Structures are given as C-alpha cells and as structure tokens.
Structure 1
Amino acid sequence: MSVAGRKRSARASQVRGRTLALSVLTLATPAWAEVPDYTLELQARTNLLGNASGAYNVAPGNLLAGSLQIPLTDDGQIAFRLAITPEGRQAVWWGKDGAGQRIYVLPDLGEDARISDPGLRSQSNLISHGNLAFAVTGAASASQNGIYRLNVASPDDVRIERAPIGASNWSSLQLNEADVIGFRASYGGGGQSYFLLGSGWASTLVSDNIADSSSPYSFLYSPRLNDQAQIAGVVDRASGSAEFFQELRIFNVTIESQLVAQTRGLDANSPVYRFASVQPALNNQGQVAFLGTARDASGRNVTTLWFWDGTELRVIAQDGLGEIRQLEFFPPDINDSGLVVFRAFDAANLRAVWVSDGQALKRVVSEHDIVTSDLGPARIDQETPSNPVFAGSPSINERGDVALAAGLAPPDNDQEEWGTAVFIARASFPQTDGGVDGGPGEDPDAGPGTDPDGGTDGGPGEDPDAGPGTDPDAGPGEDPDAGPGTDPDAGPGEDPDAGPGTDPDAGPGGAPDAGTGADPDAGPGADAGPGQEPEPDGGPSQDAGSLPPPPPDGGCGCQSSSPSALLPWMLAGLMRVVMGRRRKDA
C-alpha cells in the first residue's frame, strides 16, 4: 500500500474508532418522548455604555453580534462572540451555570479583523475539555487569519491552524465532541468545500465544481456537523429557474454521501420546492430537521419545517398550521432524542421559541413573557414593536436545555432598554410512573419540574424564496445594535425582495429571488434601538467577576447509580482500548 493510502487508512480508522465510541454512548441515551417544560436561567446581559440598567457578567459596551448562534454543550457551557467592545476589537464570552466573562479579545489585527461564532466542546469527569474554536478573517496580515483553538482553562494559549491549503474564509464553523472541527472553506481563487479538521488529520468531504471540476455541485450552502464527523448540507446541482435543482445530503469521511431530500425540480414527487439557505440540523442518529418551502395548490409558497428520520419526511411545523402563524428563517437545531428547537410567530403574531418532538409542540418562551433577571422581573420585549425580540437561532443540547438571546425591558415600560440577555432554558420532565424525576436536564434529586436556579440567514417573516441574507459572520458593516432582527445594512423599510444580495449562500450570481444583502438574521444584537450606534469609550474593559474555573476533573463519585448507568462508561473504556489498538495497527 502506498504511503498516501496508509495515511488515508489510518485517518479513516481514527474516524471510525471515534464514531464507534460516540455511537455506543448515543445508543445508551434514553429516548424521551415527551416535550419538557422550561425555566429560564440568565447567563449574561449586554448593554450600551451609559445605560442606567448596566449589564450582567460582562461590562457595558460589550455588545452581541446582530446575527449569532450560541453553542450549548451537554454540561451547560455556552459561548458567544461580542461584535463590539470598548477596545474596538471583537471578543469571545464563555460561561456556565449563570457565571462567565470574556475570555478572549482579538489582538490588534487591523480594523477589518473579525471573529466567527465559536464552536464549543463539553467538559467531563474523564477528560477536561472546554475547548473553543472560531475563525478569524480580515486580518491585515493574512498569516493571522485562520482557525483559532484555545481551552477555557488557559485562553491565552492560542493555536492557529490554516487548512485547507488556499482557504481564505472558514464559515459555519462547529466543534464536535470528538474534537473535530467542521466548516465550509472558501478559496481565494473561488470555490468552496465542506472540510473536517481533526487531531492530526484533515479531510475534504465535497467541493463545488469551481474548486473541483469533477464535482456535480455548483454551490454549497451552510453546513451542520455532528459528533460522528458527518456534515449535512444543501447543494445546488444547477442554477435556479422556474424550479430549483437542489439536494440535501449527509457527507461522510469513509462512505458515500446519503441523500436526505431533493427539490421537486429533481424529483417530481418531492414536497420540497426550495430549501432555505440556512443550516439544516443534524443529530448523531443521522436525523435531520430543515427549513424550506412547499407549494400549495394555488402555487403559493408555504414555509415548512421538515423532519427526516432516516427513511421518510414528515412536517414538524408549517405556516398557518396549528399554533404556528409563520416560521422565521433561522436555523433549527435537533438533539439525539429528536427534539427540534426553532423560531416562529404564533397565532397572535407574537414571536416565540418552540420545541417539538414531531408530534407535540411547546413554547420555550414568547414575546412579552415575564422572566427572572438580575434586575428582578423583566419582560421579553423591544422598544419598537416591529423589531424582533429574539436574536439569531436557538440551540438545544442532549438534556433538552435551550440557549437563546432576547431583548429585555422592565415589565411595565417597553421604552426603557435593559439590553440583550442570553438565557439557558432549563428542561424539566414530568415524573414518570417509575418514580424517576424526569429526563435530561432535570436534577434527579430535585423532584419533578424543579427549577434548578429559579436569532443566521434570513429574518422574521422572510419569504424563503427571497434568498438568504448576508453571511452571519459578515463582521464589518454589521450594526449589532440596529435592533434585533433589523437589517444592519439596509436601513428601515428596505424591501427584503429588493434584489440580489451578497450572501455567499445566495448561490452564484444570487438566486432568482435572492433578496437583499441584508442579514435577515440580525437578531437583537439589539442592545440599542434601530439605527442607534454604540460609542465605545475606548477604555479598558472591566468584566464583572473572574473567569469561572472549569468543572473539576475528579470527584469522589459518591452519588449512587444503578449498574445500568455504568454501562456507557464501561463500553467507552472498551472503545478506548479498541481505538488504541487501531492506532497502533495504523
């Protein structure tokens, strides 16, 4: 076997070993069929300098991006980027259990340097992880662009990686529990690839026909990574016309890609007219949730959220169906129990975050809800009713907890700004007949329903055929304080169908209805009202508190467990032996 062949074989063996170990743990996870109840726990609150209401767990003047995704690990860690800081350089916030702070501020790499949404890995009692990864682009020196890796225990120890060769941008970056980074690479000479970067190995899963002339795909949309080193993404087979020629596929390192769904331009029996340009959701069971449009009998576009269980499609939510008046164009997320989180307007035209198991549907939180904050009771609200109150897209972990961001105001005065809050909605499951107090996310000793502690491409109401908005990692030009969901570049009243935009997800030359270059996912970056520009004071940041330490690696393990609860860890140990032997053989 050639040297290159041995390297490929070793790399595939590493991936299979990690995948097998993760699969064993996944199979041991109980299937919770019931949609949980939720209680919101405040993690941070950002605010403008000078606002009397101040901020929480971060100094005033540190502001969220207008469009963001907040990764949430199974052990409750979250991280998010700060697009504006008092220093004038972007930063990353990290926290857990209601505490946290900025842990990394971008050095002075030039005024155009920007950070992508971070990827985050869990910590465990076996191995201390807490790893973060994010992309840096726009640096004055090209050598400072790339993928930045760090650990929350030593955030100043940063490793920069540049892969694949020739890449100039790394979008939709995610970090999985096997410490593999997945993203869409864009090349300076044109073209795109879905790419995996592991520890000591790398792999291109698929490229468009600009980067690889033998590829059948003319464009790759924002992808989603799971813990099995699989990537789900929508691909164009041809430019749009009266019909769209698109596929949603799961791409793998060791086997051929798997077709999830096609548009009716490729399959006349398909219910999908067009896929949304936002990321699909992919779990470790290979199940997928995705947004798109169907056409009704009158030829009208109907926004739909579909769920694919591995063999067939079914509708989770649709415009005008049940409690849902209109779906919003923000990426959904899914966990291994099949719980899907998404954003949509309700029948009363109020925005809400929802969770569904494909049968039952439950609100996590709605516009105008009264919640608990560091300032006391607060209302999920905006000073301008037309401004979206939620920021970016929500995420869900294996426990069923949900991370989200929303604008806050006093309960009796929506004209007073309390900034933008980042919450974890803690899941609690009803007590079962066997006396177990609930499912993932609930303290088994707390009793049923006990409260432990008490908005990417697209915009609200946007026609999925209006085309994707700007890349959420757009950076310069994006006003994170333009008001949640407000188009940071368009200005009030701009028609989202005004013409082709600049979103790299719009397809070559823009889709026929590509929409504006605005980021419809602007979310409530929204620590200010529309058009209000924060004025960084230029002084040093004064983050509240100190960096919360990572959870301890050890512990006595005194809490009793049933023998069956030990099975996943016994199998995990066995898998480590298998993986070690495979590495030795390789």
Structure 2
Amino acid sequence: MRFSLFQALLCGGVLCALPSRAELPTYTLQLQARANLSGNPSGAFNLEPDNLLPGSYRVPLAQDRQLAFRLSYTPEGRRALWWGQDGVGQRIYLLPDLGEDVLAGDPDLNAAGDLAFSVSNGTRDNGIYLLNAQRPDQVRILKEPYGVTSWSSVALNEVGQLAFRATFSSSGQAYVMLSPSGSNFTTEYFAREQKLDSSSPFTYLYSPGFNDQGQIAGVGDVGDPGAGFQELHIWSSGGGSRRIAVTQALDATSPIFKMASVQPALSNSGKVAFLGTAKSATGSNLTSLWLWDGAELRLLAQNGRGEIKEVEIFPPDINDSGVVVFRAFDSAGLRAVWVSDGEVTRRVATEHDLVPSDLGEARLDQEKPSVPVFGGSPTINARGDVTFVAGLAPPDNDQEEWGTAIFVARSSLPEPDGGTGDTDGGPAPDGGPGDVDGGTEPDGGPGDVDGGPGDIDGGPAPDAGSDIPDAGSEEDAGSDAPDGGEADGGGTPGTPGTGADAGQPPGEEPGDVSPLPEPSPSGCGCQSADAGALWPWMLVGLAWLIEGRRRGARRA
C-alpha cells in the first residue's frame, strides 16, 4: 500500500498533539407532544386537551431519546407525568389528590425508564416519588434524610443514585445523595449550610448539578447571602471537593462578577457549564455562559458577542462531549436555542422557524411579540439530541393558537458507544430514581426570570422562582400555573445583572484557573495558542500543498 506524505504525517502523530473538540451535529426536529386548551379547534397531539404544562419546565432526555415532562393542570384537577419516545407517548401517571397547594417538581429519567420527581405539600405525602415507565402504578416515596421538609433540584443518574438540595425544618439546606443499597438507600451529605453545620463556609447553597459519577456541582455563598462572595465547587462521593471558580469579591483577577442562581450543568467527565455576569469596560453587567473544561474557564456566550445579543437566564445543559445547550436572543432580537462546543456556536431552533407538526407545517410563534416563544430550559443527551418547548402557530397566521409543542431536535451524529445514558452503562434498580427535577429549571434566586409574560398566570414556575437566600428554598417556589399554549414560563429576562443574582457569573480559583483571554472578534470564547502550538498545522498545510502539486503533476 502506498502512503502519501499527508497520510504519513497523519500516521506519524502530527495531529495527535492537536486539541480535540466536540463535533456539533445538525438537527432534524421531531414533535413529541402538543398541549392545548379544549377551546382551541387545533386540538392536541399525544395528549388530551386541557392537559397543560406548567409555566416553566425542564424536559430530560435519555440517550435512547426517552423523555418525560410534568403536567401541572389536567381535566382531573391533579398533577400528572407524561413519558414517551420517538414521537409517541402518553400520560403514564396521575398524582393522588394532594390538595391545591401541592408542589410537584420536574421529573428526571434514565435509560432504564426510571423516573423521579419531588412532591412538597406539607403533608405526609411529601417526598421523592420513584417509578418506572413500564410499571408506573408501582410508586415508591422516599423521605430521606430525616428532617427534610422539601427536596429541590432532584436528579437521577444512570446507576440509580439521587441527588438534590434538601431543606430542613431548621431552615438550613444541604446537598445530599441517596445511593441504592439492596432494597434501601444510603445517605451521603456533600455540603451543608452554616445553619446546619457551624464549621461550614457556606451561608447559602444554590441549586446543584449532578452526573453519573456521583458528583455534585454547586454554587455557595461564603459571606453575607446575596453579597457576591461566591464559590463554585465539584464534590465527589466519599468526601472532598474542588473549588473551580470564585467571584471577583473573592479574587479580583476573576472574570466573574457574580454567579447566576440557576444551577450549573455537570458532565460525567467533570466539565461544568454555568451562567453568571461579567463587567464590561463601562461597568455594565454582561450575562455570560462559561465552561470549565477541567483545566480552565472558557467563555462560550455573552451579551453582545458574535450572534448573541442577550443570554437568557435559564440553566444550560452539557453532555460528555462538552457540547452545551442554552437559550439566548440573536442579534436580530429573536429568541433561539443554541449549542456550542467552545469553538462553534450553532442554532438548534429560532423564533419564527417553520417546523414539522401533526397539523402539517407550523411556525414557532406567539400571538404577541412580547410573549416568549420558548418555554423552560433545553436539555441535551450524549449523542447531542436536544429537547425544547415552544409555542406553535400556523405558518401564515400567528394569531391562531396551536398550543405548546414539545420537540426533540434529533442529532445527525451516531449514537455513542457507552457513556451517559447508554443502556449498557448499568441500568438503575427497579423503581429507582429518574432524572432531575432540579434540573435546568431556575431554582430561584435573584436573577431567575421565570414568571414573565408567557406564564398563564404570569407567575414563576416550579423550581424556577426566586432563589434568593431564605426566599426560595422550597421546591417549586412559585406558581405551578399551567401553560396552555403560551410557551414560556421563562418569561423575558430582566436587565441582565440587575437582580440580586441576575445571572451574575462565577470567578476563578487562584492557581487553578488561568486568566480568561480577551474575547475574539467572532465571540467564540476560544483560547489563543502560542506559536509553538501552530507547527503541526504548518506541517499539515505543507503536506496538503505538496500532495496537491503531486496530483496536479500526475494529471498533467
């Protein structure tokens, strides 16, 4: 076999030294369900009319494209759970009649079809509800650990572990993980607030992220709550944590003025995507999306950078390839769902896009420009598929209501072998947990902006209300009002950075995080390389040139 010079350089490992990057997929949209009011002649899809989503939500997605979401209003007047896959699905569980004050969190699920969500209503029915999509009538309620009054940001991983932020009757909060042990669960505390542990540095803990390695990522105040003294840590099972970012109040060299109150996203490889604010040269707050890649902070998106006009304050999500999904306005002022790997930023869906639906071609639209088109937080799975929720209308008439659509943007990439969500990666125990309630929904805090003009009642949504210390520790702190076609519970973000925690960003850990480089004109947030790192590319370019000349000579 003959090898060209270019092939020889490749085989010789010249490119092996180059930094790898995730491949961004292209997307094909698939409608999973469509919720609508019974008074609208367009009807509903995979749902009976008057089964409505809450004002804001998170729709978790397994690697095999299973997904689930909660219904905050049903014809029966009770909360419910929907589950499906590949364009089909149905309501599989109707909660008992727990009273009007019941607060139900978003479900999380894993590849085994296990689902978990929290219920808080101040009665004995409180707890984390566990069930399986194939056996939805077999429900187990966990109330661990002792003394907990509410469970927020409930997450379920592929090995059946549950993580959440627990609120105790003493008003203190803690990060807790429950691990399957026979027919029971063992309890492990990762971090506590000072109200629970006087030796703790944390005065307030915000909503955490969780991964399949049994790790938790979270932001904590280490001074007066809301004053901007914040740290971002990754905790591992068995004890110990790594501080990966701090705010400028703790380190003046940090690029992060303040961290957002919405939860960070944590991959199995230890990458963390999170929102916050940076200060511009004129002192204004810039909502920003950062990625901790295991060695340094990288800026993925920021107000006024590249195609992004304004980053919306909804929790991002990340997969093991380091691809991050988030919401932001584009330069034309249109809302959009985006993915980024730190090098390239690509749209998944944009306001006014024409999309497929059960009624034929439709448009992502609302009857009023002020009403948000998208609802809640998008999520991403291991292969890069993305879930999002949006208002739907006919392609030529935005005044006609086609309800709220739940889409899976199907990735063009092949299914990865192993990894997060892989069914060979160890199914969760029967009846075990599912994925997050906590997820990507803003859990509250200054800076959370769910509850704007798209909510039916205009109020905040579960786990998306205020996370202001001592003002939003309850699961579902806010209204669970239904969304009957007005897609967003996310509402429009307020002026970035003006709230107590309005998307303020995290800072860097001295010695652990290298300084953030100046933004590139493209807004990609790329790190610059020194000249020595460019020589492999020069050799490859030379190889292409020589090989091209050889081919030209042969053709001559």
TM-score normalised according to structure 1 size: 0.71
Superimposed CA distance per residue, residues 94-136 of structure 1 (whole angstroms, 9 cap, x where no aligned partner): 00111100110011122212321001010xxxxxx21111111
Q: 1:39 deviation in Å?
A: 0.8
Partner of 1:185: 166
Match of 2:195? 210
- Per-residue CA deviation, residues 477-505 of structure 1 (Å, 9 max, x unaligned), is x8xxx863677238xxxxxxxxxx99552
Describe the SS at the equivalent of 1:143: coil
Cα distance change on mapping 1:487 and 1:363 into 2, 3 Å? farther
**Cα pair distance change 1:323/1:414, threshold 3 Å:** same
2:82 aligned partner: 93
Distance of 1:381 and 1:69 partners within structure 2: 20
For residues 526 and 502 of structure 1, what CA distance do their matches in structure 2 show? 18
Aligned length: 439
Aligned mate of 1:138, from 121, 124, 132: 121
Which residue of the other structure, out of 218, 230, 234, is the alignment partner of 1:233?
A: 218
Q: Are 1:457 and 2:446 matched, yes or no? A: no
The one of 343, 366, 371 equivalent to 2:350 is 366
Q: Do the aligned partners of residues 239 and 312 (structure 1) sit closer, same or farther apart at CA in structure 2, a change above 3 Å counting? A: same
Residue 525 (structure 1) shift? 2.7
Deviation at 1:197, TM superposition (A): 1.0
Equivalent residue in structure 1 for 2:46, among 39, 46, 57: 57
Instruction: Map Cα deviations across residues 120-166 of structure 1 (whole Å, 9 max, x no partner).
Output: 010xxxxxx21111111115xx2211011111111001111101111
Q: State the alpha-carbon separation in 2 of the partners of residues 371 and 187 from structure 1.
A: 46
Residue 114 of structure 2 is aligned to residue 120 of structure 1: no
Q: Deviations over 1:217-236 (max 9, x none)?
A: 00000111100111111100
Q: Secondary structure at the match of 1:379?
A: strand
Q: Percent identity?
A: 54
Q: CA deviation at 1:81?
A: 0.3
Amino acid at match of 1:224: G
Match of 1:506, SS state, is coil
Query: Which one-letter code corresponds to 1:417 in the other structure?
Result: E
Report whether the alignment pairs 1:274 with 2:258: yes
Q: Does 1:306 align with 2:287?
A: no
- Does structure 2 conserve the Cα–Cα contact (< 8 Å) formed by 1:407 and 1:526? no
SS at match of 2:361: strand
User: What's the counterpart of residue 489 of structure 1?
Assistant: 459
Contact kept, 8 Å, 2:290 with 2:297, in 1: the verdict is: yes
1:309-388 paired onto structure 2 within 5 Å: 309-388=293-372
Instruction: Tell whether the 8 Å contact from 2:313 to 2:449 is kept in structure 1 after alignment.
Output: no
Equivalent residues of 2:376, 2:488 under 8 A apart: no
User: What are the superposed Cα offsets for residues 464-486 of structure 1, whole Å, 9 maximum, x if unpaired?
Assistant: 9x53357xxxxxxx8xxx86367
Asked if residue 467 in structure 1 is aligned to residue 447 in structure 2, the reply is yes
1:508 Cα deviation after fit: 3.8
Shift of 1:401: 0.2
Q: Does 1:48 align with 2:6?
A: no
Check 1:509–1:65 CA distance in 2 against 1; reply closer, same or farther (3 A cut): closer
How many Å separate the matches in 1 of 2:136 and 2:255? Answer: 47
CA distance in 1, matches of 2:178, 2:457: 33
Q: Measure the CA separation in 1 of the matches of 2:216 and 2:456.
A: 30
1:172 offset after TM fit, Å? 0.7
CA–CA distance in structure 1, aligned partners of residues 355 and 106 of structure 2: 26
- State the distance in 2 between where 1:58 and 1:194 align: 36
- Hey, what does 2:153 align to over in structure 1? 172
CA distance in 2, matches of 1:54, 1:82: 17
Consecutive unaligned residues in structure 2, runs of 5 or more: 1-19, 418-439, 490-556
1:525 matches 2:483: yes
State the alpha-carbon separation in 2 of the partners of residues 204 and 340 from structure 1: 28
Find the aligned partners of 1:487 and 1:92 in 2 and give their Cα distance.
21
Call closer, same or farther: CA 1:329–1:530 in 2, change over 3 Å. closer
Q: Compute the displacement of 1:280 (Å).
A: 0.6
Alpha-carbon separation, structure 2, partners of 1:183 and 1:268: 32
Shift of 1:296: 1.5
Which whole-Å deviations, capped at 9, do the CAs of 1:319-348 have from their partners, x for residues lacking one?
Answer: 000000000000000000000000000000
Maintained 8 Å contact 1:71/1:395: yes
* Contact 1:341–1:394, Cα closer than 8 Å, also in 2: yes
Root-mean-square deviation (CA), in Å? Answer: 2.7
Match of 2:177?
196
Q: CA deviation at 1:414?
A: 0.3
Tell me: CA distance 1:424–1:393, structure 2 relative to 1, closer, same or farther (3 Å).
Answer: same
**Is contact 2:455-2:488 (8 Å) kept?**
no
Give the corresponding residue for 2:130: 149
Amino acid of the structure 1 residue aligned with 2:483: G
CA contact (8 A) 1:483 1:524 kept: no
The answer on 1:39 being equivalent to 2:52 is no
Q: Distance in 1 between matches of 2:30 and 2:316?
A: 21
Matches within 5 A, 1:389-468: 389-429=373-413, 440=416, 456-457=441-442, 467-468=447-448
Q: Distance in 2 between matches of 1:345 and 1:504?
A: 22
Task: Say yes or no: does 1:162 pair with 2:170.
Answer: no
- Closer/same/farther in 2, CA of residues 523 and 367 from structure 1, 3 Å limit: farther
* Contact 2:273 2:317 (C-alpha < 8 Å) held by counterparts: yes
Whether the 8 Å CA contact 1:280–1:331 is kept in 2: the answer is: yes
TM-score of the two chains, using structure 2 as the length reference: 0.75
Higher relative contact order (CA 8 A, sep 6+): 2
SS at the partner of 2:356?
A: strand
Runs (4 or more) in structure 1 with deviation over 6 Å come to none
Look up the SS of the partner of 2:339 in the other structure. strand
| Alignment counterpart, residue 249 of structure 1, candidates 217, 227, 233 | 233
Cα distance, 1:274 vs structure 2 = 0.3
Instruction: Label 1:146 to 1:378 Cα distance change in 2 as closer, same or farther (>3 A).
Output: same
